[in-house]
Structure 1
Amino acid sequence: MATEILTGRSHILREMRPLQRQVSQAIVSDVLNDNPPSSRREAIDRYKTQLGAAVFFDDGKGWTGDLREAAIICLIHYGFKKAKVVHFDEETDTLSNWSKSKDKLQNAAALEYEFGSNARRAKMLDELLDQCSVLGEGREAVYVYTDSLLDTLDIPYTKIGKHLSSELGSVASRVLDQYGTANPGRPVLRNVFKTADSSALETLLHRAFQEHRVKDGIGTEWFLVVHHAVENEFLSHVAMEENR
Structure 2
Amino acid sequence: MITLIDSHSHFDDDSFSADREAVLARAQSVGVIRQIVPAISAGLWYRLREVCKQYSGLYPAYGLHPLYLPEHRQQHLDQLAQWIEQEQPVAVGECGLDYWVADLDKSEQERFFIAQLHLAREAHLPVIIHARRSVEDVIKQVRQIPGSYGVVHSFAGSEVQARQLIERGFYLSFGGPITYPRANKLRRLVQTLPLENILLETDSPDQPLSTHRGERNEPAYLLEVLQTVAELRQQSPVEVATMTNRNTITLFNLSL
- Quick check: TM above 0.5? no
TM-score (norm: length of structure 2): 0.24
> Considering only CA atoms, is the larger Rg found in Structure 1 or Structure 2?
1
